[in-house]
Amino acid sequence: MSALSRRDAGRMMLAPVVSSLHAAPAERPWKVLLVVAHPDDEYYFAATAYRIAGELNGIVDQVVITNGEGGYKYSALAERIYGIPLTEESSGRSRLPEIRRRETLAAGRILGIRNHYFFDERDLRFTLSADEALSEIWHCDSVRTRLRQILERERYDFIFTVLPRESTHGHHQAATLLALEAAGQSEEARRPVVLGAEPARAHETELFAGLPGFAASRPAHLQPDFTFDRRQSFGYQDALDYEIVVRWVIAEHKSQGKFQNDAGRHDVERFWRFAAGPRDAAARTAELARQLRRSPSAAAPARNPHHALSA
């Protein structure tokens, strides 16, 4: 997908999918929508998205709610690349939205993302409050409407969002809450399963009980439903793994210098299923996990001790 004007990407119509909704997975590939707050948040589930789009023949689209202007503080290294004084607030806020859009599209080509929807809401500052974005910064009625329109038109099997811990960016929390709200308003037969994800180190065992004050964020289980291991090896002499893809994605976001430090920081991507979901949410999630567990197509089976997925 070529770079689009600031609003066109969000308005574009997609071709209808000619298939029955939620048909048996063997009959058609999965269809997934990533709903994130910022350009570069696809990092949270980059390896899994790559696996679905590139190796399971699935469809992955992405909604990016904000324009990313708040990332100017860490853009010093990119000033020479782009020839713009990005760390000067006025210049950074005016020029970063288009730069970060191009970076997101480049990362999307790596992951196999089919379509991007850029909502261009303000990225004012870092906050731990979801309410700040929901009530003070974003045009949430517009965001809700556009999300519902996309879900109605595309009929996704899953929505991937960032797990809304209290300790994560309030914009991440708000984006997930809006995605849960939009999914919950879909007809039962068309309702996607919403999964909250976070990257982690394999030895970490944090639980998640939901975001206090927001009942919709309650998970089906305290422990993740499944974990995708970025370290799974495959290919000639098992020389490749999914961490390579994640590093490629990080490198595309050159305007975000601090983000580059996340390369190699996390081993796995963990997914929690939210309790509020369609009747077949557990079965659908288990089937996705089963398919992700299979050895990569056109690649030698992994022989290292790390499995791509754990239940």
The pLDDT assigned to 294 comes to 86
Per-residue pLDDT band for 240 (boundaries 50, 70, 90) equals very high
List the domains of the chain with CATH numbers: 29-310 (3.40.50.10320)
Q: For residue 273, give the nearest of 288, 260, 258, 254 by alpha carbon.
A: 288
Average pLDDT, the chain: 88
Residue located via tokens 């029955």? 20
Find the range with the poorest average confidence among 15-29, 109-123, 125-139.
15-29
pTM: 0.87
Token pair of 62, please?
A: 């992405």
The string of pLDDT tens digits covering residues 118-133 is 999 999 988 888 988 8
The pLDDT assigned to 246 comes to 98
Q: For residue 100, give the nearest of 146, 36, 157 by alpha carbon.
A: 36
What is the Cα gyration radius of the chain?
A: 18
Q: Between the CA of residue 171 and those of 36, 95, 162, 257, 283, what are the distances in Å?
A: 9, 21, 10, 20, 30
C-alpha 124: how far from its chain's center? 21
Q: Give 212: exposed, middle or buried? Use CB within 10 Å, 0-12, 13-18, 19+.
A: exposed
Q: Give 18: exposed, middle or buried? Use CB within 10 Å, 0-12, 13-18, 19+.
A: exposed
